[in-house]
Amino acid sequence: MSRQELLSPEGLRVDGRRVNELRRILCRASVLNTADGSAYFEQGNTKVLVAVYGPREPHTRAAGNSGERALVNVEFNVAPFSTSERRKRSKGDKRVLEIASFVRQTFEGAIQRAVYPRSQIDIYVHLLQHDGGTLETCINAATLALVDAGIAMDDYVCACTAGFVDDSPLLDLNAVEESSIATPALTVAMLPRTGNIALLQMESRLPAAKLEDVMEVAVEGCKHIHAKLDEAVLAAAGDLAAKLSH
């Protein structure tokens, strides 16, 4: 069986994008009225809904938490209808727990947790439709929801993936590109103001010399996403400010 052609001779990808092109991004803050903050984020066909509750009274006193900083709790849920094959994932699915833990670690660094002592911030992430780049979409959506909840953060956290196919780095992989065994996928989450990296994750092999090229592409993608997120936040904030000033 031959490997599927991921990059045509004309330099186009399976979904018609060029190598350094992001998928279409659509995002909106404040989509739920019962949550403190919420966001809907669409990157191509990957769709994520995030609800943030808190800072609120912690449910359990976690061991080793002195209470000087807020706890961040992330739950990730994959809808059974999110993939073409209907499948119910259990709560204890290792893959699901892993993504939740990545999101938690990313935001533990970005949220100013010392501002909210003795409290807990709950982030509920729902993957509604899956088409690759789950982690990046979850992080981007969670950022938007946290900003919407008015939680103090050092900066936005913007995430983006990049892969490496036929000697050229590819930006923002979709499910077809991601599932191909030969494609290494690198997920980068960064704080755009300082350029600090909050998360760097890759599970396959990539020639060390190429890492820098792939990172550079991913970081460019993060900057684009930052602009999109900022736009959505300003739109939501401007809307509320206009209503309040009446």
Partner 1 sequence: MMDIDTEPVAADVAARIVTPGSAITSDPAFMRGHGTFGEGATIYSSVAGVVERINKLVSVRSLKQRYSGEIGDIIVGRITEVAAKRWRVDVNSRQDGVLLLSSINLPGGIQRRKSESDELQMRSFFAEGDLVFAEVQSYFADGALSLHTRSIQYGKLRNGTFVAVFPQLVPRSRTHFHTLPCGVDIVLGVNGYIWVSKHVSAAKVEANAEHIYSDCNEPISDAEREAIARVANCVQLLNRLYVKITETSVIFAYEESLGHAAKDLLSQDVAAELAHSVMARLKQQAS
Q: Which is nearer to partner 1, 70 or 185 (CB)?
A: 70
Find the shortest distance in angstroms from Cβ 209 to partner 1.
Answer: 33
Find the shortest distance in angstroms from Cβ 131 to partner 1.
Answer: 28
Find the shortest distance in angstroms from Cβ 146 to partner 1.
Answer: 9
- Residues binding partner 1 (CB under 8 A): 30, 33, 36-37, 54-57, 67, 70, 112, 115-119, 147-156, 191-193, 230, 233-234, 236-238, 240-246
Give the position of tokens 């736009």. 231
Q: Which is nearer to partner 1, 57 or 167 (CB)?
A: 57
Strand order in the sheet with 25-29: 25-29, 37-43, 46-56, 120-129, 71-78
d(CA 105, CA 107): 6
State which amino acid sits at residue 132.
G
Q: Under a CB-based contact definition with an 8 Å cutoff, are residues 125 and 75 in contact?
A: yes
**Which residue stretches of the chain are H helix?**
94-110, 134-148, 175-179, 208-244
Find the shortest distance in angstroms from Cβ 156 to partner 1.
Answer: 6
Backbone φ and ψ for 245, nearest 5 degrees, come out as -80, -5
d(CA 21, CA 224): 10
Find the shortest distance in angstroms from Cβ 8 to partner 1.
Answer: 39
